[in-house]
Amino acid sequence: MSRRFTPKVVTANHLLEGDAIWLTADDRWTRDMCEAELIEDEAHADIRLLFAASQQDVVVGPYLADAVAGENGPEPTHFREDFRTKGPSNYAHGKQVELS
C-alpha cells in the first residue's frame, strides 16, 4: 500500500553561492522558505521538481522536502530542513549574520 502524499516544497542549493533556496509559485528561487510554494498534490510536485531539475545553470540537487503550512508560509517538518533555513553553520555568514 502506498503512503499518503504529504505537503512538500521544492528545495535545492544555489549553484554558485551554495545557499539553500526554495522554489516559489511564480518560478523564482528564494532564500526564505516562507516564500516557497507549498505543494499539496503529488502530480504537481513531480512537475515542479522536473522544472527545478531543468535549471542546472541556477541550482544543484533539487528535491522535495516535507513541509507544513505555517502562520507566515511553509515551515519545515524535519530537523534537516529546519537547519537549512538557518544557513551555513561553520561560522557566522549569510543568514546567520542577519540573525546577529
Q: Residue 2 domain-assigned?
A: no
52: domain range? 8-99
- pLDDT at residue 97, rounded to an integer: 65
- pLDDT at residue 99, rounded to an integer: 61
Asked if residue 21 lies in contact with residue 30, where contact means CB atoms within 8 angstroms, the answer is yes
Say how many domains are in the chain: 1
45-77 pLDDT, tens digit per residue, is 999 999 999 999 999 999 999 999 999 999 999
Q: Residue 82 domain-assigned?
A: yes
Please state, as a whole number, how many other Cβ atoms lie within 10 Å of the Cβ of residue 86: 12
Q: Residue 56 domain-assigned?
A: yes
Residue identified by cell 541556477 is: 58
Which of 63, 76, 74, 75 is CA-nearest to residue 12? 63
Q: Residue 28 domain-assigned?
A: yes
Whether pLDDT at 96 is above 90: no
Q: Residue 3 domain-assigned?
A: no
2-41 pLDDT, tens digit per residue, is 789 999 999 999 999 889 999 999 999 999 999 999 999 9
pTM, rounded to two decimals: 0.84
C-alpha cell at 60: 544543484
Distance CA(95)–CA(63), nearest Å, equals 21
Q: Residue 60 domain-assigned?
A: yes
Q: Residue 95 domain-assigned?
A: yes
